[in-house]
Amino acid sequence: MNNQPDYSKIYTHTPQQHPNLILGSLQLVLWMFFHPQAFRNHLKSIHPSFTANISFITVLQKLDIFKISAMWKFILQGLLILPLLLTVLSIAIIILLLVSISNMSLGEAISLFLICFSYAILLALTLGISLGLIYSIARGITVTTTVAVVVSIAIVIFYAVYIGDGATVGDNYHVAVALAYGLGLGIAAAVATKIAYGLSIALAYSLALFIVGESTLGLVGGIAVAMVITIHYWRPVVFHPLLIIWNFLLYRFESRKNIKKISLLRFHPAVWDEFSYIPFHGLDRHLSLVIKHNPDEGKAALQYLSTTRQSWAAKIDINIK
């Protein structure tokens, strides 16, 4: 009996979603922001005509899609489970921090939680459904999940500033809200438009608020929008040093293995981060080690990496039988 895993399902742009509703929902988030090819392929697996650009209105014209249980599962996860889960987690973490460093009572913490939760969910669902109707279901869900977190955090930040420094609450409040809503708008612009058009939104947002006298809102919010829209350009640079350490640890643990188990290479950012355009030093060495220990997995990893931005590592001079 062959218990060898199917490595083509591990190193692939069409991974299978976890059957658990919660874990599968979190997997959607990772795909949306780190592996969009996997996200697009997941949509196609639901229905051939279900793409990242299809709207609710278009889907309504193809009623056969609504007969597919996977379609309902995707909508449930994207428009309900994810915003609920991410909002609860983000608010709970920040409020626990506030309780530990301030004089906030349990009753105040519960009230703040309910206020943040209600407002964030209402706004997120409204934006998500609206964008889903007029533009795209997939992009509407992306905005829903991120705005739910951003807005809830903005409210908690304001509360923290208010109880912490009443003398400067005005300035701090403006900065906190401008940053949070700027990030929210930036995410919406990033997922719903091309870069050039998205940057024009950032400029218009900044100028409009500047004209009406809210210079702080205009400046901070505009910068936030621009940063989010261009996140896939600067994020790989900012996080590259941390990923180098992570990759080194993966290789060290890998080098101590002497049995043919599934490699730790599947946790390497070259596999799960589609936007990492800076070459990862040592990736070819890690790949060679995997090929030496398990040629079948090494071949699958080689074929997969050859289709990514780290394809240079797949050009190592090793013959796989």
- pLDDT, tens only, 83-141: 888 778 877 777 777 677 666 677 777 777 777 777 777 777 777 777 777 777 777 77
pTM above 0.85, yes or no: no
Residue 67 is which amino acid? K
Q: Which residue has the higher pLDDT, 151 or 76?
A: 76
Mean pLDDT for the stretch of residues 261-272: 91
What is the pLDDT at residue 148? Answer: 67
Residues 170 and 272: their CA atoms lie apart, in Å, by 42
Beta-carbon-side half-sphere exposure of residue 195 (alpha carbons within 13 Å): 5
Give the integer Cα–Cα distance in Å for 41 and 47.
10
310 pLDDT above the threshold of 80 = yes
Q: CA–CA separation, 125 vs 157, rounded Å?
A: 21
Q: What is the pLDDT of residue 170?
A: 45
The rounded mean pLDDT for the chain is 75
Closest by Cα among 279, 277, 291, 290 to 251: 290
Give the number of other Cβ atoms within 10 Å of residue 306's Cβ: 13
How far are the Cα atoms of 76, 79, 132, 220 from residue 224, in angstroms, in the given order?
A: 30, 25, 24, 6
Mean pLDDT of 249-271: 85
pLDDT: is 43 or 258 the higher one? 43
Residue among 177, 110, 189, 115 nearest 150 (CA): 177
Please give the pLDDT value at position 166: 45
Asked if the model's pLDDT at residue 169 lies above 60, the reply is no
Nearest residue to 54 via CA among 124, 140, 145: 140
> By percentage, how much of the chain surpasses pLDDT 70?
66
Whether 279 has a pLDDT exceeding 90, the answer reads yes
* 190-222 as b/e: b if 16+ CB within 10 A: bbbbeeeebbebbeebbeebbeeebebbbbbbb
Rg (CA), the chain: 23
Phi, psi at residue 18, to the nearest 5°?
A: -65, 135
Q: Which amino acid is at 10?
A: I
Q: Which two tokens stand for residue 320?
A: 């796989």
**Type of residue found at 130:** S
13 has pLDDT over 50: yes
**88: exposed, middle or buried (Cβ count in 10 Å: 0-12, 13-18, 19+):** middle
Contact criterion met (CB below 8 Å) for 192 and 139: yes
Residue 181 above 90 pLDDT? no
